[in-house]
């Protein structure tokens, strides 16, 4: 046991990763893209266009509705904030009608609320939506961002050769670092290489980026959500080991609160994103979100799983595919810093049939022990699982059951007196041999 512990520690400390003091746990915040896209017509869509208005309104709600308190601290603008042409001094310029007071004013407002400011650019000639990219103006644009006091930069990868990214993204990161301003660096680097079958150099990516999009943009549907989950599960042996404090895989934004997911499906995304140690970036209208969805986004116990300080990305440990894709069932398991485990039992069945089954410790990839089991969505009472029993689960169609398994020994320790705790520690140390 002691030997195993030592090996694990060595494994963790030898992982190289970006060391800019940021993203020790997966970043949490809000981003415009998935919900508000590239809506630029403020006359037709005054509440939805990418504008100072939208950002200020969202900042207000992030604070007043408890999102900031829950950990969502970054407020980010994605594409479509720019004028189509650079200014006479060569600088990028925010759209003059939609950001009439400039970007520094937006940043000041966001900071005055205790939030942090995220911005978007693209490493190529143009952004994906056709606005000026940074290529050829990297230093000037970074200086502009520093002048605006941004805290987070998502650097997309349209209009650039994916082969050039292995040098380009690190070079840009070095320039960011040299400004001395702490700016969280979100790279889209592997997301443009994976589909081209160029093997992304994840060692280098984790060394230069705080987070990185690996795969497709998420869209507002159950089929998009499950295809991304499946891709992360199928490729976990390559991906999971590169995640850790300071550097994270990013399966993309949370759809929760929008149009395409039911409540059960929204719960699936929140649970699986927590297991994946994924950035939690909402993209929804916080002024009109239904309370059932808001409750999912603000679930403290699930956020705690996502933000677990050990920072170990969880795995899809079991799956069963029935006839067609309709009966797909899976277990996702994340080990937490306090020897407990978060397990998501997901049913991808969309044929309306609920699922019930018993699972063995082996199927759950759970170390044999007695556990107290807590339903993180709080539909069920606390349960006890003995080391010689199977664990019974019922899951709604296209739904999830998400539990925390706390070893009984841990529970007793935390409930007993100080002396007893010391005894337990001594025993635990003795038992290791
Ligand atoms: C960027 O634009 C310049 C000038 O039009 C062009 O020469 C260059 O090939 C473009 N680069 C890419 C990667 O498209
Ligand atoms: C720049 O990089 C060094 C070395 O990794 C790191 O210690 C420092 O915190 C970084 N500074 C900023 C502002 O990111």
Give residue-wise pLDDT tens across range 328-373. 899 999 999 999 999 999 999 988 889 999 999 999 999 999 999 9
Q: Is 125 in the pocket of ligand 1 (CB under 6 A)?
A: yes
User: How many angstroms does the Cα of residue 28 sit away from the middle of ligand 2?
Assistant: 21
Mean pLDDT of 97-118: 98
Which CATH superfamily is 315-411 part of?
A: Golgi alpha-mannosidase II (2.60.40.1180)
Q: Quote the pLDDT of residue 16.
A: 75
Q: Say whether pLDDT at 15 is over 90.
A: no
Atom of ligand 1 nearest to the CA of 124: 13
Q: Report d(CA 71, CA 7) in Å as an integer.
A: 32
- 3-class secondary structure, 206: helix
Q: Is 137 in the pocket of ligand 1 (CB under 6 A)?
A: no
Half-sphere exposure of 197 (CA within 13 A, CB side): 0
Q: Is 324 in the pocket of ligand 2 (CB under 6 A)?
A: no
Of 86, 124, 125, 133, the residue with max ligand 1 atoms within 8 A of its CB, to mutate for a pocket test, comes to 125
Model confidence pLDDT, tens digit, residues 372-416 = 999 999 999 999 999 999 999 999 999 999 999 999 987 776 665
| Contacts with 343 (C-beta within 8 Å, 6 or more apart), sequence order | 331, 332, 333, 334, 364, 366, 402, 403, 404, 405
Per-chain mean pLDDT for the chain? 92
Please confirm, yes or no, whether 217 is among the known catalytic residues: yes
Of 16, 17, 20, the residue with max ligand 2 atoms within 8 A of its CB, to mutate for a pocket test, comes to 20
Percent of the chain with pLDDT over 70: 91
Taking CA atoms only, the protein residue closest to ligand 2 atom 12 is 177
Q: Say whether pLDDT at 326 is over 70.
A: no
Residues of the chain with CATH 3.20.20.70: 28-306
User: How many angstroms does the Cα of residue 252 sit away from the middle of ligand 1?
Assistant: 28
The CATH number fitting domain 28-306, selected from 3.30.70.270, 3.20.20.70, 2.60.40.3080, 2.30.30.140: 3.20.20.70
Considering the candidates 141, 156, 250, 308, report the single residue annotated as catalytic.
156
Q: Report d(CA 104, CA 406) in Å as an integer.
A: 47
What's the pTM? 0.92
Atom of ligand 1 nearest to the CA of 136: 1
Q: Quote the pLDDT of residue 432.
A: 39
Mean pLDDT of 229-236: 98
Residues of the chain with CATH 2.60.40.1180: 315-411
Go through 247-279 and write b for each residue having 16 or more CB atoms within 10 A of its CB, e for each that does not: bbbbbbbbbbbbebbeeebbbbbbbbbbbbbbb
Taking CA atoms only, the protein residue closest to ligand 1 atom 13 is 160
Considering the candidates 166, 216, 217, 338, report the single residue annotated as catalytic.
217
User: How many angstroms does the Cα of residue 135 sit away from the middle of ligand 1?
Assistant: 9
Atom of ligand 1 nearest to the CA of 164: 13
């Amino acid at each position: 046991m002691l030997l195993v512990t030592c090996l694990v520690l060595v494994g963790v400390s030898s992982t190289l990763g970006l060391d800019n003091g940021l993203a020790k746990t997966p970043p949490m915040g809000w981003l415009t893209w998935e919900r508000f896209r590239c809506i630029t017509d403020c006359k037709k869509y005054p509440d939805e266009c990418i504008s100072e208005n939208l950002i200020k309104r969202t900042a207000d709600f992030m604070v007043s509705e408890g999102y900031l308190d829950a950990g969502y601290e970054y407020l980010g603008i994605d594409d479509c904030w720019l004028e189509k042409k650079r200014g006479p001094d060569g600088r990028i310029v925010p759209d003059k009608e939609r950001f009439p007071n400039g970007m520094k004013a937006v940043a000041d407002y966001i900071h005055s609320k205790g939030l942090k400011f995220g911005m978007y650019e693209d490493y190529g000639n143009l952004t994906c939506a056709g606005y000026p990219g940074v290529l050829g103006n990297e230093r000037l644009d970074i200086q502009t961002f520093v002048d605006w006091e941004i805290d987070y930069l998502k650097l997309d990868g349209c209009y650039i050769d994916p082969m050039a990214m292995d040098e380009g993204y690190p070079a840009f990161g070095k320039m960011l670092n040299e400004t001395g301003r702490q700016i969280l660096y979100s790279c889209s680097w592997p997301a443009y290489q994976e589909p081209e079958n160029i093997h992304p150099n994840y060692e280098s990516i984790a060394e230069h980026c705080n987070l990185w999009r690996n795969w497709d943009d998420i869209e507002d549907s159950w089929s998009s959500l499950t295809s991304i989950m499946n891709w992360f599960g199928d490729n976990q042996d390559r991906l999971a080991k590169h995640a850790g404090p300071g550097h994270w895989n990013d399966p993309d934004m949370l759809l929760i609160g929008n149009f395409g997911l039911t409540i059960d499906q929204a719960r699936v995304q929140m649970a699986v994103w927590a297991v994946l140690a994924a950035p939690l970036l909402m993209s929804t209208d916080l002024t009109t979100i239904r309370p059932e969805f808001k409750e999912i986004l603000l679930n403290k116990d699930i956020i705690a799983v996502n933000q677990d300080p050990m920072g170990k990305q969880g795995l899809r440990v079991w799956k069963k595919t029935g006839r067609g894709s309709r009966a797909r069932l899976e277990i996702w398991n994340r080990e937490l810093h306090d020897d407990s485990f978060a397990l998501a039992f997901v049913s991808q069945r969309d044929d309306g049939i609920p699922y019930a089954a018993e699972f063995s410790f082996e199927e759950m990839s759970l170390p044999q022990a007695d556990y107290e089991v807590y339903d993180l969505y709080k539909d069920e009472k606390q349960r006890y699982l003995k080391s010689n029993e199977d664990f019974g689960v019922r899951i709604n169609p296209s739904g999830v059951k998400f539990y925390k398994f706390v070893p009984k020994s841990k529970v007793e320790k935390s409930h007993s007196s100080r002396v007893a705790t010391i005894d337990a520690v001594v025993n635990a140390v003795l038992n290791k041999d």
